[in-house]
Structure 1
């Protein structure tokens, strides 16, 4: 499946509706096929044409896959966001102490179980930015841990240890720092990649 940008956005909306239906109807049988679930209410929706496409694309998946599929679609959609859709009030620069606090809790080399993987941290930030900062809101002065320690928001992958996040997540960050934090971590990841590539090349020459 290689959907267009508009298709991704519409697909994301449909999955949000499905999630709402599951919650409101208190659906307990997660073995129901997404296709069968959709067909129960597709005639009532203005998205009939698109629902047909979804039934075809996800015919093998059941409701137990819905969160994973939603996050996969959201990941593609989040990759499309750019500076123009994020208000400047959410791009407050990080202070040096904040950068230190971030680096103290992050593992850039995926070698430590006592720290949060940099890639996982960046993914959680991307999800947060997409879900909360791409709309106009007045949350810039709230502490960022209000959201990142609320595991019902599913910002973190399922395999991340909640107690690790609770222990290490920086308390000095506000929502207004989220975008700068995301940029900072990704820049650090790229720096380390470049350093590792240079080291590999030197070893190869030797």
Structure 2
């Protein structure tokens, strides 16, 4: 979609408001229906070769789709944003929908991780939001896992014995946010994980993030692990 219609990020403060509104109104919004509406909108954008990303999302829907039965106007915040933000909105809605259903996948995708697998994950993960360019941000990894589960594993499939990197290194699947360097994922993504481990992998990383957060909150004197690159620079100064 972004190759057809240029997209722009939504400001962080507005993202917080949008997420709060979307999550608060979850009981009154049919998320699967809303996702279908956005997917239909994507099809129209592609078929009509829409280039003007400044058209308001609701104006475009009303003009081309005429789908009055979709109660999208209940999300008031959507009225203020244009097509250049439509992918971000779709991903927010998808994430909310995924939160409520990913636990429903088949048990064959819930095989427990071995200790070696857990160690492999921990070795490449940034749990402390250090923005260390040599590690994969844990929250970003969780998001990619969530997208994969929601998009591929809610229907019966026989991919449980495939290596997980078959999918996570295929960047055409758009599992990773755009700000993540592809080279970093290719270099660090664990080769030992199968699709059958994906659910336990998701829960393991979520729990580790929670532990890291609690550790910082409970210990005022807690010092975050410093990025490797800082140590490398200091080491170079010493030997020079």
TM-score of Structure 1 vs Structure 2, range by shorter chain:
0.7 to 0.9
Output aligned runs, 1:27-106, within 5 Å. Answer: 27-43=50-66, 47-50=67-70, 53=73, 58-81=78-101, 83=103, 85-106=104-125
Q: Which runs of 5+ in 1 are unaligned?
A: none
* Normalised TM-score (structure 2): 0.74
Q: Deviations over 1:82-124 (max 9, x none)?
A: 53x2110111111222111111111112222210011111111
Q: Could you tell me which residue of structure 2 aligns to residue 13 of structure 1? A: 36
User: Residue 145 of structure 2 aligns with which residue?
Assistant: 125
Residues 103 and 5 of structure 1, relative CA distance in 2, 3 Å threshold: farther
Equivalent residue, structure 2, for 1:148:
168
> How far apart are residue 178 of structure 1 and its match?
0.9
Which consecutive residues of structure 2, in runs of 5 or more, have no partner in the other structure? 1-20, 223-240
**Is residue 126 of structure 2 the alignment partner of residue 107 of structure 1?**
yes
User: What's the CA shift for 1:56?
Assistant: 5.8
Whether contact under 8 Å (1:42, 1:51) holds in the other structure is no
When the two structures are superposed, what TM-score results if normalisation uses the length of structure 1? Answer: 0.85
- Say if 1:31 and 1:64, in contact at 8 Å, map to a contact too: yes
Further displaced range: 50-59 or 2-11: 50-59
Secondary structure class of the residue paired with 1:157 = coil
Match of 2:225 in 1: none
- CA gap 1:52/1:190 in 2 versus in 1, 3 angstroms: closer
Q: Distance in 2 between matches of 1:88 and 1:149?
A: 24
In 2: Cα distance, 1:131 partner to 1:41 partner: 27
C-alpha distance in 1 between matches for 2:171 and 2:74? 28
Cα distance in 2 for partners of 1:152, 1:174 equals 20
1:136 aligns with 2:136: no
RMSD between aligned alpha carbons? Answer: 2.3
Q: Give, in whole Å, the separation in 2 of the partners of 1:82 and 1:55.
A: 24
